[in-house]
Amino acid sequence: MKKNNLTMGLAVAQTLLLLVLVFQINGLNSRLSGDMVKEAAAAPTPTAAAPSAPSAPSAPVDMEALIDDDVIKGDPNAPVTIVEWSDFECPFCARFYSQTLKQIEEQYINTGKVKLVYRDFPLSFHPNAQKAAEASECAKDQDKFWEMHDLLFESGVSGGVASFKQYAAQLGLNTATFNSCLDSGEKAAEVQADMRAGTAAGVRGTPGFIINGQLISGAQPFPAFQQAIEAALNG
């Protein structure tokens, strides 16, 4: 009788121990799953263009091919070329425009050392970016690209197509021609071609730049561009 009681006691103890282990394992799995969810939520979006260190593309870059038929700011014969891929709805791009571009213009573009080429890279999760890019291309047909470029960054794109048409009128464009260009979507293919060229060159987010073959990602401060430009001038 005592032996049977002892056996039953051991069996009960083993069962309780197994239950405790199961609860502990389940709790550990829950904590690990929770941590993984938190980490996934905190991870940056791949297309978010937080600044990163300059890097060389994996293959040689044909800078002339990257220019295509896009607009140039500065001397076309300048020794250093900056090709910029940008999105008018991107806050990082607006930061580059407001904080860095003016310094590059003053020290390098206006002195004939650098030319800047702008290409479109509207991100899919920015609802007005594609049409804003098309608006700039339509303005280019009337030799007002840079004026539209500045207005889009300074006044914003939240109003969509209606705002872009107002900007065209503000710039003194032929509004009938501009509106027809924008409404027809005739510049959509050109914008997408810019994106494909940027992706092929290694651009993964906006803004992205290639300076004489060197890739720079994100809204870097002026010294990062200065370093790359000086290296290209002295290379």
Residue-wise pLDDT for 157-168, tens only, equals 999 999 999 999
When mean pLDDT is compared across 19-23, 64-68, 182-186, the lowest value belongs to 19-23
Please tell me the predicted confidence (pLDDT) of residue 63: 77
User: Across residues 116-120, what is the average pLDDT?
Assistant: 97
Say what the pTM is: 0.75
pLDDT at 140 over 80: yes
Q: What is the pLDDT of residues 64-112, one digit of tens each?
A: 777 777 899 999 999 999 999 999 999 999 999 999 999 999 999 999 9
pLDDT at 43 over 50: no
- The SS3 of residue 29 is helix
Please tell me the predicted confidence (pLDDT) of residue 39: 30
- Reported in sequence order, the residue ranges of 97-233 that DSSP labels E, i.e. its strands, are 114-120, 208-211, 214-217
User: Across residues 47-60, what is the average pLDDT?
Assistant: 46
Please tell me the predicted confidence (pLDDT) of residue 168: 98
218: DSSP letter? S
**Sheet of 72-73, strand order:** 72-73, 114-120, 80-86, 208-211, 214-217
Please tell me the predicted confidence (pLDDT) of residue 32: 34
Please tell me the predicted confidence (pLDDT) of residue 28: 39
Percentage of the residues of the chain whose pLDDT score is greater than 70: 74
Please tell me the predicted confidence (pLDDT) of residue 22: 43
Please tell me the predicted confidence (pLDDT) of residue 20: 43
What pLDDT band is residue 10 in, cutting at 50, 70 and 90? low
Angle at 123 between CA 201 and CA 184, to 5 degrees: 105
